[in-house]
Amino acid sequence: MNEKVPIEIGRRRLNVEMEGFTPLQILELARQVQVKLDEISARYPQIVDTSKLAILAALEVAAELHQLRDAVITNNRQVEHKLD
């Protein structure tokens, strides 16, 4: 059973449990999300709705993940090509 970890992101407090992550890892993920939220908030000071900021932050994280996945796929293809 996973341990529930209290986190705070965007002035909201949650108790979170995540399969396969330690409490320290969960706290680090929450910190990274808060950093992204702060970056978005600084870029768009006219947006005060934290829900909108959270959606924009999630989209940016998803875009970064997509780029990383594409890079891994490309790298794997290059390695396979060299092995052939």
* pLDDT, position 1: 64
Question: Where does the chain show beta strands of DSSP type E?
Answer: 5-9, 12-16
Q: What 3-state DSSP class applies to 64?
A: helix
pLDDT at 3 over 80: yes
* pLDDT, position 80: 86
Least confident of 36-40, 59-63, 76-80: 76-80
Phi/psi for 63 (5° steps) reads -65, -40
* Tens digits of residue pLDDT in 11-52: 899 999 999 999 999 999 999 999 999 999 999 999 999 899
Confidence class for position 83, pLDDT limits 50, 70, 90:
confident
